[in-house]
Structure 1
Amino acid sequence: MEFLQPENAPRAIGPYSIAVKSNGFIFISGQLPIIPETGELIKGDIKKSTLVILKNIKNILEESGSDINKIVKINVYMIDISKFSEFNEVYSEFFGDHRPARAVVQVAKLPKDADIEIEAIAEG
């Protein structure tokens, strides 16, 4: 098992690893819409938030020797499911023809009062 902390990704905000590589898979912890260079949390714009998170996931995978086309499962947590179509528009454009298994659920609250959090599992 290898604990990963890619350079081009936000740092963990608690006692956990951003990603773990184990048994041929990379498990990416839930990512908030944080711009790695500034630490800024994007709020109030689900499209921008979604894109920031997906780019961070892409960076984590690429720095770990994988890529977004190896993602097998995505879990999405949103505080307002009425924004689903806006989220889905960005998500669809980002992934193109790649269609990992996915769950999207509405939650009452997320760390740092974020609007969205996304976690992923990919082949390593």
Structure 2
Amino acid sequence: MTVGQKGTAMKRREFKVPGSPEPVSHYTDVVTYGGLAFVSGALAVDTEGNVVGRGDPAAQAECVLEHLGRALKTVGCSPADVLRVNVYITNIGDHTLIRAARERFFGDARPASTLVEVGALVVPDCCVEIDLVAAVPKSTSSSEGKGNA
């Protein structure tokens, strides 16, 4: 535990998102700390780890954003609370194909964003991965009992 502004205690909390695929490594779906939610990279896989939208960046982006939406909801956030997005794609030319999904997901909100082409993602046949950081609304950032810390 760390002491924050005005002596208030800040807790690091870990969250497993119900219905999310099992992690492929040693991490959790979301970590909250100091009023922020750090959401791990999401891939287009179902709960059994099967790739969704194989060969279709737009379909994969939709699936990834659905996963991220559930992760945000788990900690009391919405897409409007997102501050920063990192998008990793295996073909930089596909960025136009995922734009519509991003616009639907974020609506009028425009988070800071980085888009990077990578050689491969951890799950073969996935071509889009997105992680993000969001501000946790005060009404939920102080609530207890939501995580699996």
TM-score normalised by the chain length of structure 1? 0.93
Q: C-alpha distance in 2, partners of 1:62/1:93?
A: 17
Correspondence for 1:115:
127
Correspondence for 2:30:
19
Q: 8 Å contact 2:90–2:127 — kept in the other structure?
A: yes
- Secondary structure of residue in 2 paired with 1:40: coil
Give the Å deviation of 1:105.
0.6
- Secondary structure of residue in 2 paired with 1:30: strand
Larger Rg belongs to: 2
**1:40 corresponds to which of 33, 42, 50:** 50
Q: C-alpha distance in 2, partners of 1:80/1:44?
A: 11
Give the Å deviation of 1:61.
0.9
Gap regions ≥5 residues in structure 2: 1-11, 137-149
One-letter amino acid of the counterpart of residue 50, structure 2: E
Gap regions ≥5 residues in structure 1: none
Q: C-alpha distance in 2, partners of 1:107/1:39?
A: 21
Q: C-alpha distance in 1, partners of 2:21/2:32?
A: 17
TM-score normalised by the chain length of structure 2? 0.78
Q: C-alpha distance in 1, partners of 2:19/2:78?
A: 14
Correspondence for 2:81:
70
- Secondary structure of residue in 1 paired with 2:123: helix
- Secondary structure of residue in 1 paired with 2:68: helix
Q: C-alpha distance in 2, partners of 1:103/1:92?
A: 15
Aligned-pair identity in percent equals: 25
Once the two structures are overlaid, the 10-residue window that deviates more, 19-28 or 86-95, is 86-95
Within a 5 Å distance, the mapping from 1:75-94 to structure 2 comes to: 75-94=86-105
Q: C-alpha distance in 1, partners of 2:123/2:38?
A: 22
What value does the CA root-mean-square deviation take over the aligned residues? 1.2
Q: Which runs of 4+ in 1 moved over 3 A?
A: none
Q: How many residues align?
A: 123
